[in-house]
Amino acid sequence: MACFWKGISASLSKEDKAILGINNNCIPNLIEALKKLNTKNIDILWQGGKLKKTQKDENFTHIKNYNTNSYNKGYLCGTCDPFLLLLSSILKINIRHYYLNNKITYSSESNKTYIYRSNRGHFTYKKKIIH
């Protein structure tokens, strides 16, 4: 049920974990780190476009209000997902999320791209590409 968080955790390098301020694979620590680093100042392009202020506000609130203890009950990853936006921004990475074979892009003008796949019930980390 925690496949979203397991996929994110599996993709993180030692360097990524250091940036996030975590030193293990404990999912609640990962979530708390993201909540602590939560910001409205997201400069990531989603599908090639900038986020509107209302989107930034809603994403910030979503992350702020996320119950860390609910991670084992599953997480409904959105097509413009607040946690993926934040992760892309913090780690300065590009993310390609393939949802039912539809490509969703989070761009930070990085030379690193993390690729995830999901369907209506499962989320996985596929690979990392260094350009």
pLDDT digits (tens, 9 = 90+) for 63-78: 999 999 999 998 989 9
Ranges in the chain, pLDDT < 70: 1
C-beta separation of 62 from 55 below 8 A? no
C-alpha distances in angstroms, 55 versus 30, 59, 91?
A: 23, 6, 20
pLDDT in the model for residue 1: 55
Cα–Cα dist 71/49, whole Å: 30
pTM, 2 dp: 0.95
Among 11, 46, 40, 49, residue whose Cα is nearest residue 27: 11
- The residue type at 19: I
